[in-house]
Structure 1
Amino acid sequence: MATWIRTYDDESENRSYFELDDEEWALRHIDLQGLPRQPVTAASLAEVIEIRDRGDLAAMAAYERRYGVLAEGAVRGWRETDGAAEITRQEFESTWAAARETLDADRTEETT
């Protein structure tokens, strides 16, 4: 069963959101930067695996430019971290949708 968490870094004012599997590996990862909460990452393990399995390095580079880099390794110890909390699936999904929409719009603006 998945777990959804949010972490907050007071110094940088960055928020990270994770959808974690049973072993606490990131299935999806969102980073919001600074006070405006500007999305800089909204990456999905399923998408990364699909691109990797095709062996398309150009597609992987394009994905990472658009959606950032997925957190690697288990996100263990988050319960003991100040500023970390479990959140609802709905909170994660709404944050995911907003981050993806912003990153997709940013990419569209770059190409026009």
Structure 2
Amino acid sequence: MTIWFRTHYEGEDLWLYFEADDEGWATRHVEVRGKDSRPVTAASLEEVLHLRDHADLAAMGRYERHYGVLAEAALDGWQDQPQAAEISAEEFESLWVEARRILGASG
């Protein structure tokens, strides 16, 4: 079952938003800076796997510079993180679309 949630990384003042699969791995990941609400990451597992299987390291590097790096560990224990909360699929999708629009325009 897919779950959507957010946490806050206080050290960097980043809001982290995740769409996670039933095994607790990120399928999509958005990071937003707290001070100006600017997205800095909007990465997708599907896209990363496609690049891994069909492109070269240079293409993966371009993707990561443009959209950031997808969380690469199971997201167990997210409930114990600062300001953690489940969010709706609609809220995540809205954040995703906006982050991709902004990051897409900056690349």
Same topology, TM > 0.5: yes
Larger-gyration structure (1/2)? 1
For Structure 1 versus Structure 2, the TM-score category normalised by the shorter chain is over 0.9
- Whole-angstrom distance in 2 between the partners of 1:9 and 1:101: 23
Report the counterpart of residue 27 of structure 1 in structure 2: 27
The size of the alignment, in residue pairs, is 107
Using the size of structure 1 for normalisation, the TM-score is 0.90
Report the counterpart of residue 15 of structure 1 in structure 2: 15
- Whole-angstrom distance in 2 between the partners of 1:16 and 1:82: 11
Structure 1, unaligned runs of 5 or more: 108-112
Using the size of structure 2 for normalisation, the TM-score is 0.94
Pairwise CA RMSD of aligned residues? Answer: 1.1
4+ residue runs of structure 1 moved beyond 6 angstroms? none
- Whole-angstrom distance in 2 between the partners of 1:85 and 1:94: 17
Q: Percent identity?
A: 52
Report the counterpart of residue 82 of structure 1 in structure 2: 82
Q: Deviations over 1:33-81 (max 9, x none)?
A: 1321111100000000000001411110110011000000101101122
- Whole-angstrom distance in 2 between the partners of 1:13 and 1:65: 20
2:98 aligned with 1:94: no
Change over 3 Å in CA distance of 1:10–1:61 after alignment to 2 = closer
- Whole-angstrom distance in 1 between the partners of 2:67 and 2:81: 25
Structure 2, unaligned runs of 5 or more: none
